[in-house]
Chain A
């Protein structure tokens, strides 16, 4: 090498290495951390060792080249580092492993062969989503430990100050250590309930990204993407579990429409007015095949039923062709499986489109007394919509104004103000809340 090459090469290699490390961070973080926790015996120590491993990858890969299996290299490095730290700590203070039962692999060799490394990601996920932790803590831990987001990124995703999120994560990790929340996959009798808890946490990650509860933007796409990635990961780790494929189907079939939900001015476009050619056909195809798989279970789970509802929309060529009776029937089944006020609200909306706005409105009014819906903006928004369609404009206006007060999302507020202008200026325009089933 000579001349410009001498200066150019290291720089090029650095960029290439940085990209490889970033890629490994995105794809392998959960695997590397999960495998390291087993050796470190403690989540905090494992996190530190994994961060060290990624940092040393930047320099080592630059000089000795990017390994064939970056994830395996990172895992072996992180596990060695964790074991070193633990041995040192053990000699100093005779510390006991905090997370693992004695003999459960704590003192094992970190492994030099990549084939030796077990896939512990399920353990990590079940620990993060343990029912003894608050749901917000479960979601925060999952994003931090399984997805590898920084504390600042998790804080941004939920629009809380970084210090608040750091405290929440620390508290949760302290509880895992102090209460000895185990690092293992639940046994068969409890597995079903525990999987349900994990799926609920993953779905919460997705829905928070799909329609942000607050802030200027309608969607937080990175969060929605993480939700989809987590669902894909679970599907790989728990193959043949119908609720898992149901959740993946639901997310795919909902996310397929994401590109059509906003217009050029970042204003909400209702399902009715969406340009269906913008829907992601490949996501719909994959979602339908997942749905088919999850519907093999009898009775179908709640995520499969929600996915089936999303599929009716996705498969409908136009808004006018939407089979509202099919959707209504699916909501009836869903209500049996999952009798929640939010499901009843969505069923009432479907009824309004299947049988007429008067019928839908009567159902919505019956839900007015539900304490769980008292601060739920979509109840008021749906009432406004049906009232407008019935020509009861002053009442529609009041309902939309109520929804404006209840939502914290700026894009939704702008949309609701436009609905008021539309209803009071001209005839009411029918539409449906656009969101996850």
Chain B
């Protein structure tokens, strides 16, 4: 079995609207159906609440408001899943009721 990180992207405007609401029924349904494959996951606050920390190259940090990349689509949440192979991971990822879409990243295994 391999692990994959599913990054869930959504429209920032829609995300802000949904702020404070409880997790939607469609996500609950997804989590029920795919429960055995889900190792973890969470929904995130809007990107306006995020903070970036970049190393400034001389031992210090530059702390800035917002994510590294500003874009119309922002990270809204993630799942860590376990799947037999990429095909199964993609099958699971397609079922995530994401507003915009998802990215599927294989997780490096350290032994």
Query: In the assembled complex, which residues on chain A have CB atoms less than 8 Å from the CB atom of B87?
Result: 181-182, 186, 190
B2 at the interface (CB under 8 A from A): yes
Docked pose: A178 CA to B85 CA in angstroms: 10
A132 at the interface (CB under 8 A from B): yes
Q: How many residues of A contact B (CB 8 A)?
A: 10
Q: Which residues of B67-107 have CB atoms within 8 Å of chain A's CB atoms? A: 84-87, 89-90, 104, 106
B90 → chain A closest CB, angstroms: 7
Q: Report chain B residues within 8 Å CB of A101.
A: 84-85
Given A101-B84, A101-B85, do A178 and B90 touch, yes or no (CB 8 Å)?
A: no
* CB-defined contacts of A132 to chain B, threshold 8 Å: 86, 90
**Interface presence of A180 (CB below 8 A):** yes
Closest Cβ of chain A: how far from B106's Cβ, in Å? 4
Chain A binding surface, main DSSP class: loop
Is B106 a contact partner of A179 (Cβ separation < 8 A)?
yes
Q: Tell me, in angstroms, the Cα distance from A190 to B88 when the chains sit together.
A: 12
Cβ B85 vs Cβ A182 within 8 A: yes
Find out whether the CB atom of B106 lies under 8 angstroms from the CB atom of A180: yes
Residue of B nearest to A183 (CB): B85
**Distance between Cα atoms of A182 and B104 in the complex (Å):** 15
| Chain B contacts for A179, CB-based, 8 A | 4, 86, 104, 106
Question: Nearest chain A CB to B29's CB is how many angstroms away?
Answer: 21
Residues of chain A from 156 to 213 with CB closer than 8 A to chain B in the complex: 178-182, 186, 190
- Are A180 and B85 in touch, CB under 8 angstroms? yes
Bound-state Cα–Cα, A130 to B104, Å: 15
List the A side residues contacting B85 at CB < 8 Å.
101, 180-182
Point out the residues of chain B lying under 8 angstroms from A186, CB to CB: 87
Query: Do residues B2 and A180 form an inter-chain contact, with CB atoms below 8 A?
Result: yes
Task: Give Cα distance in the complex from A180 to B89, angstroms.
Answer: 10
Residue interface bits A380-404, CB-to-B below 8 A is 1, else 0: 0000000000000000000000000
List residues of chain B with CB within 8 A of the CB of A178: 106, 108
Q: In the complex the two chains form, what is the Cα distance from A179 to B85 in whole Å? A: 7
Contacts of B89 in A (CB 8 A): 180
CB-CB nearest 4 A-B residue pairs: A182-B85, A179-B106, A180-B85, A180-B2
- 21 A-B residue pairs with Cβ-Cβ distance under 8 Å, sorted by A, are A101-B85, A132-B86, A132-B90, A178-B106, A178-B108, A179-B4, A179-B86, A179-B104, A179-B106, A180-B2, A180-B84, A180-B85, A180-B86, A180-B89, A181-B85, A181-B86, A181-B87, A182-B85, A182-B86, A182-B87, A186-B87
Besides A132-B90, A179-B106, 18 new A-B residue pairs in contact (Cβ under 8 A), listed by A number: A101-B84, A101-B85, A130-B86, A178-B106, A178-B108, A179-B4, A179-B104, A180-B2, A180-B84, A180-B86, A180-B106, A181-B85, A181-B86, A181-B87, A182-B84, A182-B85, A182-B86, A186-B87
